[in-house]
């Protein structure tokens, strides 16, 4: 158990830090520009921005240990959204290209306190495209990242010079590496080591079947891997994006749930829609806004990228 002192935050000192430490001002300014730039690219490509779902009886089961946020309201159980993935699969039937600036609450365990990459309340821009492949998603996100970096370097050269003077604008197409390739080269700690060795962001593709949830599509030709991906930042900043092509066929979703002992009851409403045959093939992803800010400014921790940040295991306001 972590000593309780390490959890405590002196709120008055924190507010004083916001006022005198330029990091908070600089990082929130850059973050505001990130939001504007990604929105601009997605809007120009014909995406429709939807409002976030913050509570629902169904949410992302996630693939790592965490605490639940369940509460009951007039006889129905709700959770705070961990990601809007299951809602995106439905929303994309209404508009073919969608995105949401989506707050997610994931009650991470305290061992994530010092990872530098985790907040238990964070925001991702979650996008989804109907009838699309992962290549289509790469194209959109590469444009969004390149445009954002160019714009920020142009508009805030002094801030970038101060925090990340050697920040390079990546070139399209970003490189792709399979998990298998990375494991062979770097061993078990492949994500961290490959990130440390890279000088530009790269796509990590073909994640093994059991390492992701039932909504990411199994490759029909190579059933031990998924048609999904992460984007990895260079210089040791690790995961930027995760996404994939989606399972939409009821039988396949059930099979995938069984493989990981996912309790059907929790996804009853989602399964009803899938059983009715309403879901269609789609692909999409989410980009973490605090992590993008952290990388652009080469900060040691995402908690410096927002006011009132919620660090796993720590107290906060
Ligand atoms: N946003 C991710 C996706 O689209 C899901 C997640 O955040 N777990 O696949």
Q: What ranges do the domains of the chain cover? A: 5-305
Q: What is the mean pLDDT of residues 51-74?
A: 96
- Ligand 1 centroid vs 254 CA: distance in angstroms? 19
Residue 308's region, left for phi above 0, alpha for psi from -120 to 50, else beta, is: left
**Of the residues 215, 242, 248, which should be mutated to test ligand 1's pocket, given the most ligand atoms within 8 Å of the CB?**
242
- Ligand 1 centroid vs 165 CA: distance in angstroms? 31
pLDDT at 9: 87
Token duo for residue 260: 């990981």
What's the angle, vertex CA 188, arms to CA 259 and CA 310, rounded to 5? 80
* Confidence check: pLDDT of 6 > 70: yes
- Ligand 1 centroid vs 34 CA: distance in angstroms? 19
**Using CA atoms, how far apart are residues 266 and 247, in angstroms rounded to an integer?**
18
Residue with CA closest to ligand 1 atom 9 = 243
- Ligand 1 centroid vs 213 CA: distance in angstroms? 10
For the chain, what's the residue count?
Answer: 317
Name the β-bridge partners of 177. Answer: 204
pLDDT at 4: 65
Of ligand 1's atoms, which has the minimum distance to the CA of residue 60?
8
Token duo for residue 290: 């605090």
- Ligand 1 centroid vs 82 CA: distance in angstroms? 9
- Ligand 1 centroid vs 101 CA: distance in angstroms? 12
pLDDT at 238: 98
Place of tokens 């190579």: 222
Q: Is the dihedral of CA 22, 25, 28, 32 positive or negative?
A: negative
Would you say the CB of residue 244 lies under 6 angstroms from ligand 1? yes
pLDDT at 7: 86
Query: Is CATH 3.30.365.10 correct for 5-305?
Result: no
Of ligand 1's atoms, which has the minimum distance to the CA of residue 62?
8
State if pTM tops 0.85.
yes
Q: What is the mean pLDDT of residues 272-298?
A: 98
Would you say the CB of residue 288 lies under 6 angstroms from ligand 1? no
Average pLDDT, the chain: 97
Percent of the chain residues past pLDDT 90, beyond the cut: 97
């Amino acid at each position: 158990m972590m000593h309780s002192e390490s959890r405590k935050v002196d709120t008055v000192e924190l507010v004083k830090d916001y006022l005198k430490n330029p990091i908070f001002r600089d990082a929130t300014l850059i973050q505001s520009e990130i939001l504007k730039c990604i929105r601009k690219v997605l809007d120009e490509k014909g995406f429709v921005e939807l409002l976030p779902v913050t509570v629902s009886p169904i949410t992302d089961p996630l693939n790592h240990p965490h605490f639940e946020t369940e509460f009951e309201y007039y006889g129905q159980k709700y959770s705070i959204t961990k990601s809007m993935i299951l809602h995106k699969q439905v929303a994309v039937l209404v508009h073919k290209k969608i995105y949401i600036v989506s707050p997610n609450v994931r009650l991470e365990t305290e061992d994530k306190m010092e990872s530098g990459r985790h907040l238990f309340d964070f925001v991702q821009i979650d996008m989804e495209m109907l009838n699309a492949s992962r290549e289509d998603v790469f194209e959109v996100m590469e444009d969004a990242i390149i445009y954002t970096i160019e714009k920020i370097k142009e508009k805030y050269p002094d801030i970038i010079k101060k925090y990340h003077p050697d920040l390079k604008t990546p070139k399209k197409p970003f490189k792709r590496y399979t998990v298998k390739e990375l494991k062979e080269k770097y061993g078990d700690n492949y994500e961290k080591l490959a990130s440390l060795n890279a000088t530009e962001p790269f796509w990590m593709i073909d994640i093994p079947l059991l390492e992701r949830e039932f909504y990411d599509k199994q490759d029909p030709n190579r059933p031990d891997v998924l048609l999904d991906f992460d984007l990895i930042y260079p210089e040791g900043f690790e995961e930027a994006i995760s996404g994939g092509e989606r399972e939409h066929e009821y039988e396949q979703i059930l099979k995938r749930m069984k493989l990981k002992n996912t309790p059907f009851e929790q996804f009853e409403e989602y399964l009803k829609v899938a059983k009715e045959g309403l879901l269609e093939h789609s692909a999409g992803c989410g980009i973490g806004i605090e992590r993008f800010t952290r990388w652009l400014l080469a900060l040691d921790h995402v908690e410096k990228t927002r006011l009132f940040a919620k660090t796993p295991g720590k107290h906060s306001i």
